[in-house]
Amino acid sequence: MKSSILRRSLPIVLGAALAASMSQASMAQNVKIGSLSAVTGPIANLVPPIIEAEQLAIKQVNDAGGILGGRKLELVVGDTQCNAQASVDAAGKLVNVEQVVAIVGALCSGATIGAASNVAIPASVVMVSPASTSPEITGLEDKDLVFRTAPSDAYQGVVLAKYVKSKGINSVALTFVNNDYGVGLASAFREAFVKEGGKITGDQVHEDKKTSYRAELATLAAGKPDALVVLAYAGTSGVTILRQSLENDFFKMFVGADGMRDDILIQQLGAGALKGKLLITQPTSKANSAKDTFDAAFKAAGGDPNSIFVQQSYDSTMLIALAIQKAGSTDRTKIKDALRFVAGPPGVKVGPGDWKKAVDLLASGQDIDYDGAAGSLDFDAAGDVAGVIGEYGIEGETFKEIGIIGIN
């Protein structure tokens, strides 16, 4: 009796096991790349469009035949909270549990440094950040594993200083958040502004997430500067500093960089309170056909091309996909070695939406050179790119690009 039951049950058990095995094999066909995003934390308001841009690149790859002979590309999102320790935990899960072959991100500079130093570099996982701008990243001993598609603040800080001076602002008070982003950008700005003949009447680092900065602001205002430069994230200390400055009439003019280009300022303080009083800069891209192609596709998918760092995040994702295809493998080291080959010359130019063309060129043994929505992405020895900086003003209830800052 027992043996009979076993014989009848065996085909069912084997069939179930085979189905499960086939299901797992099918899932294993997906090529996973990680997205180290700050889903929560000080820049959470900026992140949804960034992830949407990454997902657009994934969809375009899969819709055009997939990767490595028809396999699907999959994006796995991890939350760094814009925090170094949380980024290590998120990167560890992506690399060791999800087994991603490369990472887009992180976004915040401290998160990129933490994840790279403690997880990605030891595991030979390439990272391409669309938004980490700290100059400290340039000097990382990263074994050629950390790249970025936005320019370093060593450049943005200089452009910001010259831009401020060109606006007739000859003296500033400077407050900057105590993290890799704030400290690095402040250092570059400070040196360049003084070199341009500007005067810094007050210079203070501040801690994030305080409920009041009134004492620090009163001290900074005592020097009677033409403007207050706030190098911080709008979602935390930035909005509080601006609100308390306006409430107490400490300053007449404010200056911020990419971390302050967040509509939360307009939502919480009102466009009328800020218009004509706030200068904002951020990395952007010059008008080009690749940007036009991306912007149209992103808009058609329901995204807003005006959102911060969406061009860079799309490009970071597409570069990783092209490197995987060039490597012909999910081997992490081979992907790293292939990245420079697809990002720069020599090669046939490809851009956003050209996945099938790029795959065919690589299959025929030809080199490709990806020029992205954010512009040319020819990495230097440190994995950095050149870039352009735009100026932004308030239009309605959002920030809009006024133009490229033509200062070198």
Listed as own residue / partner, the contacts of 297-302 with beta carbons closer than 8 Å and 24 or more positions apart are: 297/56, 297/60, 297/352, 297/353, 298/52, 298/53, 298/56, 301/52, 301/56, 301/59, 302/52
Per residue in 75-107, pLDDT (tens digit) is 999 999 999 999 999 999 999 999 999 999 999
CA atoms of 81 and 72, how far apart (whole Å): 28
For 160, how many CA atoms within 13 A lie in the half-sphere containing its CB?
Answer: 30
Domain with CATH 3.40.50.2300 in the chain: 28-152+288-376, 154-285+389-404
Per residue in 341-397, pLDDT (tens digit) is 999 999 999 999 999 999 999 999 999 999 999 999 999 999 999 989 999 999 999
CA atoms of 269 and 237, how far apart (whole Å): 14
Q: Which residues, listed in sequence order, are joined to residue 203 by a DSSP beta bridge?
A: 174
Helical pair 180-195 and 153-166, crossing angle rounded to 10 deg: 50
| CATH code linked to domain 154-285+389-404 | 3.40.50.2300
Q: What is the mean pLDDT of the chain?
A: 93
Amino acid occupying residue 321: A
pLDDT at 59: 98
pLDDT at 408: 64
Q: What integer is the mean pLDDT of 273-281?
A: 96
Query: For residues 57 and 314, is the Cβ–Cβ distance under 8 A?
Result: yes
CA atoms of 383 and 262, how far apart (whole Å): 27
Can you give the C-alpha Rg of the chain in angstroms? 24
User: Percent of the chain scored above 90 by pLDDT?
Assistant: 91
CA atoms of 221 and 201, how far apart (whole Å): 9
Which pair of structure tokens corresponds to residue 5?
């039951």
229 Cβ contact list (under 8 Å, min separation 6):
164, 172, 173, 174, 175, 176, 189, 254, 255, 256
Query: For residues 39 and 47, is the Cβ–Cβ distance under 8 A?
Result: yes
Helical pair 214-221 and 239-247, crossing angle rounded to 10 deg: 60
Per residue in 1-45, pLDDT (tens digit) is 434 433 444 343 334 443 444 344 444 489 999 999 999 999 999
CA atoms of 351 and 77, how far apart (whole Å): 24
Residue 112 has pLDDT above 50, yes or no: yes
Residues 28-152+288-376, CATH architecture: 3-Layer(aba) Sandwich (3.40)
pLDDT at 357: 98
Owner of token pair 């050629």: 144
Q: What integer is the mean pLDDT of 55-67?
A: 98
pLDDT at 105: 98
Which pair of structure tokens corresponds to residue 24?
């797992």
pLDDT at 359: 98
pLDDT at 195: 97
pTM: 0.91
